[in-house]
Amino acid sequence: MRSTVIGIVLAIAFIAALFAVSRLAPHKTITAPTAPAAAALTPEQAAAKIGPKFVGGQRIGDWTLACGPGRELPRSPPVGGHTSGNSEGTAPKEAPPPPGWKIPRCKVMLGLRDPKHPADEIRITFRLMGFKRVLAMYVRLSPNMVQAGDTVMIRADGKDQALPVRGCAMQFCLALQSIRKIDEPSITGAKSLALHFRPTGQSEEISVPVSTAGLAPAIAAVHRIDT
C-alpha cells in the first residue's frame, strides 16, 4: 500500500505536466462529445490492432490511447546517507526494480465538454503507475470549481469511488486515486459512468456523464503494452 501511495504522489508533477492548459467555468451538467457517426473498426477491433511496440495515438471508441517511447527513470539521489525512494513506485526501504526497468508509457484519455462552452473541458486519464503497475485515474478540473482537499466521485453503475483533489496549480486542479486490481472491472466494465462533485461555494452538485464506449478495450491495451 505504501508503495502505491509513494508512486502516486511522486507521479503527480509528472502527470500534471502532460496536460495542456484549459479553463472550465461552472455549469450544472457537462456532457461528452458526440462520437463519430461511423467507425471503420469496433473499439475491440481497434484495440486488438495495437501491438506491444506501439508509439502514437489511436482512437478506441470515445477514448484515445496514447503511448510514448519507453524511458528509464533515474532513482532519486540519497538524502542523508539514505535512499529517498523513487518514482518507480517503491518505498525508500524497498529494493528498486531491476536495471533497465521502464516507466509505464501509455495512457487512456477522454475530454468532456459543455455544449454551450466548447472550449471548456474536463480531462480524464487512466494509466498504470509505478513498479507494481497500479491503475490510476486522474481528473483535471478548473480551480474555479474545486480546491485542494475536495473530493470528486466517480460513479460506476451507481457505486461511488472517491478521488481526492491532491493539489491545484494556477490553471487547473488534479484529482487522482489508484484503483485496486479487484475494483478495476467495476469501472472498466461499467454500463454507466459519471463524475459527481459540488463546486466550491455552491450547493448544487455537478453531474458529468462519462462515456464507456471503448474504455474497457483501451485499458486492456494499456495492460498488454505496459505489463
Question: Taking the domains of the chain in order of start, what are their residue ranges?
Answer: 22-70+104-226
- Write out pLDDT tens, residues 92-135: 566 666 666 778 899 999 998 766 655 567 899 999 987 778 99
- The pLDDT of residue 27 is 37
Residues 150, 27: Cα–Cα separation, whole Å: 18
Angle at the Cα of 68 from the Cα atoms of 85 and 217, rounded to 5 degrees: 100
Whose grid coordinates read 502516486?
A: 8
37 vs 63, higher pLDDT: 63
Average pLDDT over residues 9-37: 41
Average pLDDT over residues 151-169: 94
> For the domain with range 22-70+104-226, which CATH number is right: 2.60.40.1880, 2.30.42.10, 1.10.10.10, 2.60.40.1120?
2.60.40.1880
- The pLDDT of residue 129 is 87
